[in-house]
Amino acid sequence: MPGLTSDSNGSPPHSAMPSGDGVSPWLPGLSGRPLAWRANAWLFLATLVSVFATSFLLSVWGGIRTPVALRHAGQFTSALLSILLAHEFGHFVAARTHRVDASLPYFIPFPILSPFGTMGAVIRMRSRIATRAALLDIGAAGPLAGMVLAVPLYAWGLSHAQIVPAGGGGTLGESLLVRWLDRCFAPSAPDGMDLLAPVASAAWVGMFVTMINLLPVGQLDGGHVAFALFGPRQNRVARWVHRSMLVFFFVSVASFLARDLRAGLGPWRLGHHVGNSIFWLVWFEALAIIGAVTSRATQAPAGDRLTPRVRGFATLGLLVVASELHDRSSIALWAMWFAALGVLLCMERLWGTLRDGSTVLDHPPTSATPLNPVRVAIAIVTLALFFLLFMPTPIES
C-alpha cells in the first residue's frame, strides 16, 4: 500500500475530523484540535498480532518447530514494523514540519491472505500541500527513513542466517540493491540448501514496500517526488508509467513462456507464469483505484465511468481465478481468463485510465516555485532508489 494519501481539497467537513475519544492533548493537530490516536493505536496492535500470527503459521506450515517458529515470528515482526514505523513517521514529521495537517499512521492488518500479515499503512493529509519543497520533503522522507533501517537490517539478517535444507516455497525477487547486499553479506549455501533469515526477510519486505511506494504515479511517494521535480509534466509521465505496468505484465508472461518453449516444455506452465507476473496487472488496477479515491476532484471527470468498485471486483475475480488455475494446463480455460482480462481492458480504454484525457492519475497542483539545487539532488536520489529496488518478479513460484 502507498505510505501516504492526500486530501487536496483542503480540510474535510466537521464530521470527518477526529473528536471525542482517542485524542492527545500533548500532540495537538494543526487544525487546533487534539490529534486523534486511539484508532491508530488499535490498528497498530492489530497489525502487530496479524504480522506475528501470519509469520508464525507460515513457519510452522513450512516444517519449522514451534519454539523456533515463535522466535522467528518475533524477529520478523519487530524488524518489519520498525521499518514501516520509520517510513510512516518520516512522512508525519516532514508534514508537521511544513505545517501540513497530517494524521498519525493507520496500519492495515491483513492476516494470512497477505504473506506479510499487513498491507502497510497510510497517513491522511487534511490540508493541501502548497509548495513543491514541502511536497518533496513529505514524499521523500518516508522512503528514505525506511531505507535507513531496511538496508542494515537486511545486511545483519543475512550475516546471521541459518543454512537449512531448501523447501518448496516461492523465491523472493532480486533487485540491484538486494543482489549487491547478498554478495556482500550472505553466507554461501551448498546445493540443496537455503538461508533462513527472518530479519532479512522482513527487511526485504520493507524494501519491496518502498519500491511500490516509489512508483512515480499519482499520489504515491514517487508521484509526490516526481511532481515536485517536474511539475505538471509529471502527469503525462505518470500515465505512461502506469500503462507500462500493463505492458510489463504481458512481456513478463511472454518471456517465461518463451523460456519454456526454448527448453521444449511447451505452454503447460502458463498458470505459473501468470502467477509470477500478475503483480503488475494487480497494481495497474490498484493504482487506478487509488487514483480515483484520492483524486483531487470529488467526482470523476466526464467519461471516466469505470468506478473503483467495478475495478476492484474485476481485479479480485481475475486474481482468484488465476490462483485456482495456477496448476491447470487447460489452454481453453486460460483463453477464457485472458478474454475476461480483455473485457476489463476494453472498459479501461472506453471509460477508464486508458482513455485519452483521463485525469484520474493527475497529481494535485502546487506552487510553481521550482526546487533549489539541494532538493533537486534529493529528488533525483529518491527516484533513483526506485531503480535500485526494482524487482521484475517480486515472488516466483
Using CA atoms, how far residue 394 sits from 70, 121, 200, 314, 326, in Å, is: 26, 20, 15, 23, 17
* Domain boundaries, position 289: 233-364
Please, which pLDDT band fits residue 380 given cuts at 50, 70 and 90? very high
First to last CA, the chain: 22
- Check whether 92 has a pLDDT greater than 90: yes
Note every long-range contact of 213-216, with CB atoms under 8 Å and residues 24 or more positions apart, other chains counting: 213/2, 213/3, 213/4, 213/87, 213/142, 213/143, 214/143, 214/382, 214/383, 214/385, 214/386, 214/389, 215/241, 215/283, 215/287, 215/386, 216/241, 216/383, 216/386
Beta strands in the chain (DSSP E): 5-6, 23-28, 34-36, 106-109, 118-122, 124-125, 162-165, 171-172, 193-196, 395-396
Q: Give residue-wise pLDDT tens across range 312-353.
A: 999 999 999 999 998 887 889 999 999 999 999 999 999 999
Check if the beta carbon of residue 354 is closer than 8 Å to that of residue 210: no
* Dist. CA 10–CA 28, nearest whole Å: 18
Residues 184 and 269 both lie in one domain? no
Residues 211 and 242 both lie in one domain? no
The answer as to whether 17 is a domain residue is: no
Give residue 23's identity as a one-letter amino acid code.
V
Question: C-alpha angle 220/226/228, rounded to 5°?
Answer: 105
Q: What's the pLDDT score for residue 204?
A: 97
Give residue 238's identity as a one-letter amino acid code.
A
Least confident range from 8-12, 249-253, 291-295: namely 8-12
Residues 160 and 253 both lie in one domain? no
Least confident range from 76-85, 268-277, 325-334, 335-344: namely 325-334
Q: What average pLDDT does this structure show over 256-268?
A: 90
Per the document, the length of the chain is 397
The answer as to whether 225 is a domain residue is: no
Residues 247 and 158 both lie in one domain? no
The answer as to whether 226 is a domain residue is: no
Residues 154 and 110 both lie in one domain? yes
C-alpha cell at 243: 500503462
C-alpha cell at 306: 469505470
Number of domains the chain contains: 2
Q: What's the pLDDT score for residue 330?
A: 85
Q: What average pLDDT does this structure show over 117-138?
A: 91
127: which DSSP letter? Answer: S
- Across 35-44, 111-120, 300-309, the highest mean pLDDT is recorded for 35-44
Q: What average pLDDT does this structure show over 13-25?
A: 38
Q: What's the pLDDT score for residue 56?
A: 94
The answer as to whether 228 is a domain residue is: no
Q: What average pLDDT does this structure show over 18-25?
A: 43
Residues 392 and 268 both lie in one domain? no
Tell me the whole-structure pTM to 2 decimals. Answer: 0.89
Q: What's the pLDDT score for residue 63?
A: 82
The answer as to whether 262 is a domain residue is: yes
Residues 54 and 86 both lie in one domain? yes
Residues 111 and 251 both lie in one domain? no
- The number of angstroms, rounded, from the C-alpha of 13 to the middle of its chain's C-alpha atoms is 29
Average pLDDT over the chain reads 87
Check if the beta carbon of residue 80 is closer than 8 Å to that of residue 120: no
- Which residues, other chains included, contact 13 with Cβ-Cβ below 8 Å and sequence gap of 6+? none
The answer as to whether 381 is a domain residue is: yes
- Check whether 140 has a pLDDT greater than 90: yes
Residues 141 and 162 both lie in one domain? yes
Residues 207 and 262 both lie in one domain? no
Q: What's the pLDDT score for residue 23?
A: 47
Least confident range from 44-53, 157-166, 199-208, 381-390: namely 157-166
The answer as to whether 224 is a domain residue is: no
Q: What average pLDDT does this structure show over 239-255?
A: 95
Residues 359 and 380 both lie in one domain? no
Residues 35 and 125 both lie in one domain? yes
SS3 at position 122 = strand
- Check whether 299 has a pLDDT greater than 60: no
Question: C-alpha angle 259/264/267, rounded to 5°?
Answer: 65
* Dist. CA 275–CA 60, nearest whole Å: 24
* Dist. CA 295–CA 363, nearest whole Å: 8
Check if the beta carbon of residue 123 is closer than 8 Å to that of residue 61: no
The answer as to whether 64 is a domain residue is: yes
DSSP H helix total and E strand total for the chain: 11, 10
Least confident range from 10-24, 204-218, 255-269: namely 10-24
